Amino acid sequence: MVDVILGLQWGDEGKGKIVDYFAPKYDIIARFQGGPNAGHTLYVEGKKMVLHQIPSGIFHQNTINVIGGGVVLDPVTLKRECDAVAAHGIDVRKNLFISERTNIIVPTHRALDKASELAKGESKIGSTLKGIGPAYMDKTGRNALRVGDLLDKSFTTQYIKLRLKHQKLLDNFHFIEDISAWEEEFFEALEFLRTLNIVNGEYFVNNKISEGKKVLAEGAQGSMLDIDYGTFPFVTSSNTISAGVCTGLGVSPKQINEVMGVTKAYCTRVGGGPFPSELEDATGEELRKVGNEFGATTGRPRRCGWIDLVALRYACMINGVTQVIMTKADVLDAFEELKVCTAYSINGKETREVPFQMTKVKIDPVLESFKGWNTDTSAIKDAKKLPATMTSYIDFINKYIGAPVKHVSNGPGREQIVHI
Ligand code: GDP
Ligand code: IMO
Ligand code: MG
C-alpha cells in the first residue's frame, strides 16, 4: 500500500513539514521525482533543516528512506546533506536506500542549465540552475548515467563520452566557465555515493509492500509545475503528479491508496510563468513578509497571491486527491479581508477550467471576498476552536474543489497541525 503526499500549487506548499509529521505512521518514505531543485523545510529539535535530495522521513530513526529511480541525483548535494543529517546522529547507511535507476546529475548538466537560461533572456524559466532540465533531457535522450553504472568498470569512459557531448553543446552556447572545481567535488562525492546502499529500487519497494509495510511517496515541486500538465513551458522536467509515483518508484497504480494534496491557504510561485491570482501590490508584499516567502533552495523572493481555486480543482482532478492539507493558514491571521480566485476571465469570457496555454493570453482572476478571522490561530490544537470565519473559508474551498480539507497547518512546527 502506497499513500502519496504531493504539492497542488507551484511548489513550496509545506510538503516537507507535512511528510515529517506523518512519517511515524509509515515504514518507508520515498522520493519519486525531481532532484536538488526541491527545498523541503522541517524543524528538528527546534533547528531548521532544508532537505533537497533526501526524503523528509530521515529524522525518524526507524523509517527507511528511498530515493527512487524517477529522481535525478546530484552526488555533491547528497554528500553535503548526508553530512548535515549525520550531525543529528542519523546513520544514512542504515536508513537511506538509493535506486540503481536514479539518474546522476553531472557538473556539465548544471553548466548547460545556466547556459540555456542565459540564452533564453527575457523568457527564461527561472530555473533553480541545479541541472534538472539537462539531466532529464539525457534520460529521455537515452544518454544518462545512472547510480547503478557507478558499480561498473566502464563508468569513467561513459562519463567522458557524456562530458564531450555536453562540451559541444556548451560551445554552441559560447559558455566558457571553468567547471574543473565542480568536477573535483563531483568525483569526491561519487566515491561517497559508492559507499551508500544502492539497491534495485523497484524490487526493494515492492518486496516491502508484499511484507505489509506502509510506503509514503513524497512529491517534490507542485502539480502546476508538472512537465505534462503544468503551466508549460514554465514547469520543471518531471511528472510531479500522482501518476509519477508509479513510474518513479516502479509500483503499480493498484498500490496507490490515499493521495494527500498540500496547498497553502493562499498561493505562491517562484521563477517565471503565469500566476493569475498574483498580487503585485502591498497585499502581496504583506503575504511575503508574514509568510516569510523566500525560496528554500535559491533564497529568491516568492511571488504571492490569493488561493487559485481554478488551478486547485484542476490539480485535485489530475492527481485523484482524496484529502487536502491546508498549510500556512496562520499567515492569514492578520488580514481583514481575504479573496479567492473562482474563475479566469480570458478575452471577456469566464471559465473554471485551466486552459491549454496560459502564457500567450491575458488571464484576469475573478475574485470572491471573505471576511478575515483576525485572530492568532497558531496555538489552536482542536478543530472546534478554529474561528467560524476560517471554517466557512475552508467549507467554500471544499465545495469548489470537490475534495475535503482534512488537516490545517497553523505554524512551521511539527506539532502545529489541526485535524478536521
Ligand atoms: P516544501 O518545498 O513544500 O517542503 O515547502 P518549503 O519548505 O519550501 O516552504 C514552506 C515554508 O513554510 C517553510 O519555511 C516551512 O517551515 C513553512 N511552513 C510550513 N507549514 C507552515 C505553516 O503552517 N505555517 C507557517 N507559518 N509556516 C509554515
Ligand atoms: P519544492 O519541492 C518551487 C521552479 C523553479 C522554476 C521551475 C523550473 O521545494 O516545492 P527547475 O530547477 O526545475 O528547472 O526549475 O520550477 N521550481 C520550484 N518552485 N518549489 C520547488 O520545489 C521547485 N523546484 C523547481 O523556480 O520556476
Ligand atoms: Mg520548497
Q: Which helix (H) or strand (E) holds 98?
A: strand 96-99
By alpha-carbon position, which residue is closest to atom 10 of ligand 1? 14
DSSP code of residue 219 = P
Proximal ligand: closest to the CA of 224:
2
- The torsion of the CA quartet 352, 271, 54, 293, rounded to 10 degrees, works out to -80
Residues with CB under 6 A from ligand 1: 7, 11-17, 39-41, 296, 327-328, 330-331, 409-412
Break the chain into its structural domains and give their ranges.
2-101+198-260, 103-193, 263-419
Pick among 2.160.20.10, 1.25.40.10, 1.10.287.3610, 1.10.300.10: CATH of 103-193:
1.10.300.10
Nearest to 263 by CA among 157, 141, 398, 373: 398
Which pLDDT score, from 0 to 100, does residue 298 have? 85
Tell me whether the CATH fold assigned to 103-193 matches the one assigned to 263-419: no
Burial (CB < 10 A; 0-12, 13-18, 19+), residue 92, is buried
CB 237 within 8 A of CB 227: yes
Which pLDDT score, from 0 to 100, does residue 395 have? 98
Which pLDDT score, from 0 to 100, does residue 406 have? 98
Tabulate helix, strand, coil % of the chain (nearest 5): 35, 25, 40
CB 215 within 8 A of CB 209: yes
Proximal ligand: closest to the CA of 35:
2
Predicted TM-score (pTM) of this structure: 0.97
Report the top-level CATH class of 263-419.
alpha beta
Tens of pLDDT along the chain (420 residues) come to: 999 999 999 999 999 999 999 999 999 999 999 999 999 999 988 899 999 999 999 999 999 999 999 999 999 999 999 999 999 999 999 999 999 999 999 999 999 999 999 999 989 999 999 999 999 999 999 999 999 999 999 999 999 999 999 999 999 999 988 999 999 999 999 999 999 999 999 999 999 999 999 999 999 999 999 999 999 999 999 999 999 999 999 999 999 999 999 999 999 999 999 999 999 999 999 999 999 999 988 889 999 999 999 999 999 999 999 999 999 999 999 999 999 999 999 999 999 999 999 999 999 999 999 999 999 999 999 999 999 999 999 999 999 999 999 999 999 999 999 999
* Ligand 3 center to 7 CA (angstroms): 10
| Active site annotation includes 174 | no
The distance from CA 153 to its chain's CA centroid, rounded to whole angstroms, is 34
Overall fold of domain 2-101+198-260: Adenylosuccinate Synthetase; Chain A, domain 1 (3.40.440)
